[in-house]
Structure 1
Amino acid sequence: MAHAGWCARRVIVVRAFFKRLRGLIGGKSDECADDVFLFPKCSSVHTFFMTHALDIVFADKEGRVLLSLEEVPPCRIVWCRGASFVLERFSRKPGSG
């Protein structure tokens, strides 16, 4: 997270299939504003059914940032070849939710 310039109140590691599929769907940006979700063994994510934009970081197994995206809107699929894990959070930009 430091390589991405992020800090978090808590990091939630998501391993179970259905929890991975759900991700931040249904989460409230004000309640989860300081939470970061970590998806291990992951190189793609979707933003279907989201109500807020997301910030997404793809990193390799050493934690090096391969791709950092801000304000990814709902109804998108994003991926990064070579990524070992993904970090997600609600976008911090004004007007992104």
Structure 2
Amino acid sequence: MKILIHENMVVSNVLVADTFTKRFMGYMFRKKPHYKVIIIKPCNSIHTFFMKFSIDVLFINENMEVIKKIEDLPPGKIIMPVKKSKMVLESKVGLFKNIEVGSKIIIQETQTKQGTVHNFYD
């Protein structure tokens, strides 16, 4: 399992959408989010077609810095490509309220049986 960390605080568990099916489906066709955060990787643009709820969105560059933040994005919208974005984090509205453009985030594996933590994005 992976976790999202901001300012040394765990924000949420995350689902990594790094296969065609996971990337394609995301939050589409669901009445409410099935994961608090979905990481879409690689990604520099999104749409909210076929979604039934609004989301918050973070666009992340290769240095794990937030380069664009969109709050309360309603269904039926298109966000054109964001230059230098390598991944997108989508969440239920309000989860990213304390994360600002320029902030650094960390995505890590939770502790394994050996007690180590692995970085997600290298």
Q: TM-score of the superposition, structure 2-length normalised?
A: 0.64
Question: Structure 2 vs 1, CA of residues 6 and 23 (structure 1 numbering), >3 Å: closer, same or farther?
Answer: farther
Residue identity matched to 1:86: V
State the partner residue of 2:86.
84
Indicate the RMSD between aligned Cα atoms, in angstroms. Answer: 2.2
Aligned partners of 2:87, 2:10: CA distance in 1, in Å? Answer: 15
Larger radius of gyration: 2
What's 1:20 paired with? 23
Runs (4+) off by over 3 Å: none
CA deviation profile, 1:30-78 (whole Å, cap 9, x unmatched): x63x620001111011100111001000010111010000000111111
Sequence identity (%): 28
1:11 maps onto 2:20 in alignment? no
Structure with greater contact order relative to length (CA < 8 Å, sep ≥ 6): 1
CA distance in 1, matches of 2:57, 2:70: 5
TM-score by length of 1: 0.79
Structure 1, unmatched stretches of 5+, are none
- How many residue pairs match? The answer is 89
| Aligned partner letter, 1:35 | K
| 1:6 to 1:55, Cα distance in 2 relative to 1, 3 A | farther
Q: Which runs of 5+ in 2 are unaligned?
A: 96-122
